[in-house]
Structure 1
Amino acid sequence: MDLWQGLLICLHRATVCLLIVLLCLFLAYLCYIHYLHLKFDHIPGPPRDSFLFGHDPSLQKSMEGNKMLHGKFLEWSEMYGPIIRINVFYRVSVLVTHPEAVKEFLMSPKYPKDPYTYDLLFNLFGKRFLGRGLLTDTDHQHWYMQRRVMDPFFSHSYLVGLMDVFNEKAEHLMEKLRELSDGETPVGMHSKMNCVTLEVITTVAFGMQLNLLDGTESPFPQAISMILKGMTQYIRKPYMQYMPWHWKFVKEVRDALELLHATGKQCIEERKKAVENGEDVPKDILTHILKSAEKEGEYNDSLMLDNFITFFIAGQETTASLISFTIMELTRQPEITAKLQAEVDEVVGMKRDITAEDIGRLQYLNQVLKETLRLYPPGPGTSRWLSEDMAIEGIKIPGGVSVIFNTYTMGRMAKFFDDPLTFDPERFNPNAPKPYYCYFPFTLGAHSCLGQVFAQMEAKVILCKFLQRFEFQLMPGQTYEILDTGTLRPRDGVVCTLTPRS
C-alpha cells in the first residue's frame, strides 16, 4: 500500500511540475508576444483582433466562402497606407505597397526570399514537396547556380525553337474545340487550358506524351489540383496535419505528391540510363539538366526531382489561368474582342502555324495580356526577408521581419491606376507611361520568374488561334470571381459556348 501511495504522490508531483513548466512557457510566450507588440506597434495597421491571435481571425474570415486574402490586403492598404503591420500569433509581417520599396527589395539581390514562407514549402504535410528547387531556394548562391543551369533553356533563341510544339498542341486543342462549337455545348475553358498547358510543359521539359486532349485518362490534372489546394491550406494552417478530422484530406494531398515524385524519379532514372548508354534522347530540359549536373557538383538527384515537381506544377497552372482569365474578361468586352480579332486577321490571317515574328507583331494582344495580369495575376505576390533595421516612407521597420509585396493589391489601387477596376489594355500601349514598380506579375529583378517569356509566348499562340477560329460567350450562371489555390484561377472554370467564326 505504501508503494502505491508513493507512486501516486510522485505522479501527482510530476503532474504539478509539468503544469508549472507549461504555465511558465505560456507566460514566457505571452511576454514574447508583448515584446513584439512594443517593437512593431509604431507601424500603422488595423487593430488586432486579439492579443494572442493578432489579425488571424480577420484573415481567416476574409477567406470564408472561397473569398481571397488579397482582397483584405487591398482593403487594409487603402485604409492604413503603404506600410502595414500584420500580426499572426508570434509572427509579424509588413505589407508594403510603396513603389520605391518594391524597387529596392525586388531589384536588389541583398534581400533574400522570406525563409519562413519558402522553407515551409520544402515539405508538404511531412512529405518533401518543392525542396530546394528554383522556386523555393533561399540561399542566393545555391539559387544562382540553379538559375545558371536553367537560363539557356529559357533564352529567346531556344524558345523560338519551341514554336512547333506550341503550334502543334494549340492546333490539337482547336480541333477538339471545333467538335464542341455548336453554340450550345458547355465547354470548360480553364479545364481545357490546363490540359493543353500541361501537355506543352511535359513535352518540352520531360519528353512525356500525356494525350490529355484525346481523353486519355490521366491522374496528373487532379493530382496537381489537389497539391495546390493542400499547399494553400498548409501555408495557412500547417498544424492541420495533426488534427484527425483533416487526415483524409492530408492523405489525398500526400498521395498526389507521391504520384508526382514516383513519376519524376522514373523519368530521371530512365533518362540517365539512356544518356549513359549513348541512346538518342530528346533535347529537352531534363536532358539539359542532366548534362549540366555533371559540371555542378551540388546538382544531385534530389534537386532534379525538386525542379521536376516545380516545373510540373508551376509550368502549367499559371499559364492556363492567364489564358482562362483573358477569355473570361473578353466575354464582357465585345469591342476589345473585335479589335483583337481584327489584329489576328491582319497579322496571321488563316495561317495554321504562327511564327515568332507573328507573335512580335501582335501588339494589341500583348497589351490585353498585360492588362489581364494587372487585374488577375496568377502569382499575386512575393515576399523578402529584412534582416536589418531600415526606414520605409519615414517609418522604421525593425530587422528580422518578412516584407510582403502584392501585385494584385497594387494593380487594383487608384493611386497607381486610374479607374483600376476597368479593363483597359491602352494602359499598356507602347506610348503610355510605364507603371512605376507597382506592377510585377512575374516579380522583378534577379528572382523574376524564369518562365515568363515561355508562358507569354505559349499564351499568345493559343489565344491567337482561339480568336482566329471562334466566337464565344460565357454560360449563364458563370461569375467573374477569383479562386485562390496558392495561385489565382477563375472560380467557375470559364464555361463558355463556342461558335465558329465566319
Structure 2
Amino acid sequence: MWESVVTLLLSGLYYLLLLLVCGGLLAFLLYCGYVKHIHMKYDHIPGPPRDSFLFGHLPSVNKSMKNYKVVHDLFLQWAEKYGPVVRVNFLHNVSIFSTCPESVKEFLMSPNYPKDPNVYKRLFNLFGKRFMGKGLLTDDDHEHWYRQRKIMNPAFSHTYLMDMVGVFNDVAEQLTEQLEKKADGKQEVSMHAHINCVTLDVITRVAFGMELGLTEGMNSVFPAAISTILKGMVQYLQNPLLEYMPQHWAFIKEVQKSAVMLRKTAEECIMQRKQAMLRGEELPKDILTKILQVAQEDGGMDDEMMSDNFITFFIAGQETTANQLSFTVMELTRQPEITERLQKEIDEVIGVKRDIDFEDISKLTYMTQVLKESLRLYPPGPGTSRYIEKDTVIAGIPIPGGVPITFNTYIMGRMNKFFPDPFKFDPERFSPTAEKPYFCYFPFALGPRSCLGQVFSQLEAKVVLSKLLQRFNFKLVPGQSFEIMDTGTLRPRDGVVCTLTPRTQ
C-alpha cells in the first residue's frame, strides 16, 4: 500500500515539475514573441545591429561603460553613423536618441512631454533606500513639479542670489589661502579635490546654513558619501539586478549607508529650521529659509519632499559646478593664449581686489565664453530624456508612441555639423557676435524643466575661477590625461593634478 502511495506522490511530483517546465517554457516563448513584436514595431528606425535577440544593445553599452568610461562616446559614434534618430534595444524596451535640433526645441521647450518615468522613477529609491524621491529633478508629474518649482524659484532669483556672492568670495578666498601654501612649482595638487571642497562648502552654507570647513582642511563624511552615491547611482541604472548579486553586496551596503546618512542630515536640518521659525528666532538668509517661507505662504510642503530637494541640491549643486571648474582648469593648462586673455580681463575688471562684486561678474564677458565652451565640450550633466506617449515624427522618421527619447548635449556638442572642428577648445564660438547655437547646446537643459540652479552655478564658477587665475599659474603634472570619467556626472578622470606658481601681475 505504502509503495503505491509513494509511487503516486512521485508521479504527481513528476507531472507537476513537467507542468512547471512547460509553463515556464510557454511563458518564455510568449515573451520572445512580444520582444519580436516590439522589434517589428520599431525596427524601421535606424540603429546599430543588436548584439543579441533578447539583450539587444546592452552588451555593447555595458562594455562602453566599464570602469566608468563615457558611454556617450558610443552614442556619438552611432549618431554620426546612423543619423539624427537612433534606436537602442534592451529586452522589450526601446529608447530613441535624437540629435535633431527641431526635436530638441519641440520636446524640451514644451511642458507637454514628461520626463522618462522609467529612468527618473528608479531614482526615487537607491537600492531600497529613498534617494531623490519626488524632488525637482525626478518628478515626472508636471503639475506636481510646477508647484514645487514655483516655491523654489524665489530662492534662486538674481535678487536673492546677489547676497550670496559674499559667501562665494569667502570660500574661494579660503581656497586661495590653502593653495598659496603649496604654490612652489613642485607640490602636486589635485585641483578637482580642492574645488570639490569649495563647491560643497558653498552649497551647504548658502543653501542650508551648514559650516563644514572643508576648504580649510576640516574632515567630513560628505565628500566620500556623495562620491559613493554617484557611483552607486550609475551602477543601479546600468544593472537592475545588481542588488541580487552577492559579490556587490558590500558596495551596495556602503551606498545605502551614504543615502541614509544624507537623508537623516536633511531631515534634521529642515526640522531645526522649522522649529527656529516657530520660536520666532532670527533666521539665516539662505536658500532653505527662503523656501520654507514661500512654502508656508503657499500652503506648505511635505517634509519628505523637502528632504528630496535637499538631497538634489546637495549633490547637483556641488558636483556639477566642481566638475565644470575642474574641466576648465584642465583645458586652460594647454591653452596658454586663452589663459593669458582671460587673466588680462580679470586684471582689468577685478585687479587685485580681494572681493569680487556682483557688478564685476557681468563684465567678465570672455570668462562667460570660456565657461560656455567648457560646458560644450565637457558638460557635467550630458543629457535629459522625455517620454513620448503618442506617435510622432522626428527628422521624417515615424516614431510610435510609448518610448523615451534622449537628448544629449555632450553628443551634439561634439558633432562637426553643429560645431565645426568640435574637439578644438574655442571660446569664440560663444562671442557676442557669434551665431547662437540652434537647439544643439543645452548643458542646463532647456524650457520649463531647465536647471533651477544654473544662475547660482555660473555666479559661483566665475568667482572661484577669477580668484584662481588672479593669483596662480597652473601646470598639469606630466602623465595626467584629459580623459573623462562618468560617475553619474562627467568629471576629469585623473583629478587635474597640477603644480602651481604665484602669479605676478
Q: Hey, what does 1:248 align to over in structure 2?
A: 250
Q: Hey, what does 1:60 align to over in structure 2?
A: 62
**Amino acid in the other structure paired with 2:222:** F
| 1:293, distance to aligned residue in structure 2 (A) | 3.0
Alignment of 1:33-112 (within 5 A): 33-112=35-114
| 1:297, distance to aligned residue in structure 2 (A) | 4.7
The 2-side partners of 1:130 and 1:98 are apart by 30
Q: Hey, what does 1:309 align to over in structure 2?
A: 311
Q: Root-mean-square deviation (CA), in Å?
A: 1.1
2:169 to 154, 167, 170: 167
Unaligned runs of 5+ in 1: none
Q: Deviations over 1:247-291 (max 9, x none)?
A: 011101001111101111111121121111112221222222322
The 2-side partners of 1:121 and 1:477 are apart by 37
Q: Hey, what does 1:232 align to over in structure 2?
A: 234
Contact 2:171 2:215 in 1 (8 A): no
Percent identity, please: 61
Q: Hey, what does 1:426 align to over in structure 2?
A: 428
The 2-side partners of 1:13 and 1:287 are apart by 68
Cα distance change on mapping 1:66 and 1:305 into 2, 3 Å:
closer
2:337 to 331, 335, 338: 335
The 2-side partners of 1:369 and 1:444 are apart by 18
2:401 to 399, 402, 406: 399
Alignment of 1:379-390 (within 5 A): 379-390=381-392
Unaligned runs of 5+ in 2: none
Q: Hey, what does 2:199 align to over in structure 1?
A: 197
Q: Hey, what does 2:359 align to over in structure 1?
A: 357
The 2-side partners of 1:363 and 1:294 are apart by 39
SS of 1:214's partner is: coil
The 2-side partners of 1:121 and 1:98 are apart by 27
Contact 2:175 2:216 in 1 (8 A): no
The 1-side partners of 2:381 and 2:392 are apart by 27
Answer with 122-131 or 297-306: which moved more. Answer: 297-306
Contact 1:125 1:238 in 2 (8 A): no
| 1:44, distance to aligned residue in structure 2 (A) | 0.6
Contact 1:45 1:84 in 2 (8 A): yes
| 1:67, distance to aligned residue in structure 2 (A) | 2.1
Q: How many residues get paired?
A: 502
SS of 1:218's partner is: coil
The 2-side partners of 1:65 and 1:312 are apart by 25
| 1:298, distance to aligned residue in structure 2 (A) | 6.7
Q: Deviations over 1:94-138 (max 9, x none)?
A: 100000110001111111111111111011111111000011000
Cα distance change on mapping 1:353 and 1:298 into 2, 3 Å:
closer
1:138 to 137, 140, 146: 140
**Amino acid in the other structure paired with 2:389:** S
| 1:3, distance to aligned residue in structure 2 (A) | 4.0
**Amino acid in the other structure paired with 1:328:** M
Q: Hey, what does 2:159 align to over in structure 1?
A: 157
The 2-side partners of 1:299 and 1:3 are apart by 66
The 2-side partners of 1:225 and 1:188 are apart by 16
Contact 1:293 1:300 in 2 (8 A): no
| 1:471, distance to aligned residue in structure 2 (A) | 0.6
The 1-side partners of 2:270 and 2:401 are apart by 42
The 1-side partners of 2:77 and 2:463 are apart by 36
Answer with 402-411 or 153-162: which moved more. Answer: 153-162
The 2-side partners of 1:465 and 1:293 are apart by 36
Q: Hey, what does 2:328 align to over in structure 1?
A: 326
Cα distance change on mapping 1:65 and 1:233 into 2, 3 Å:
closer
**Amino acid in the other structure paired with 1:293:** A
2:460 to 431, 434, 458: 458
**Amino acid in the other structure paired with 2:248:** H
| 1:294, distance to aligned residue in structure 2 (A) | 2.7
**Amino acid in the other structure paired with 1:299:** M
Q: Deviations over 1:71-103 (max 9, x none)?
A: 001100000000111101111011000001100
**Amino acid in the other structure paired with 1:416:** F
Q: Hey, what does 2:283 align to over in structure 1?
A: 281
Cα distance change on mapping 1:298 and 1:351 into 2, 3 Å:
closer
The 1-side partners of 2:14 and 2:479 are apart by 64
| 1:161, distance to aligned residue in structure 2 (A) | 1.1
The 1-side partners of 2:373 and 2:220 are apart by 34
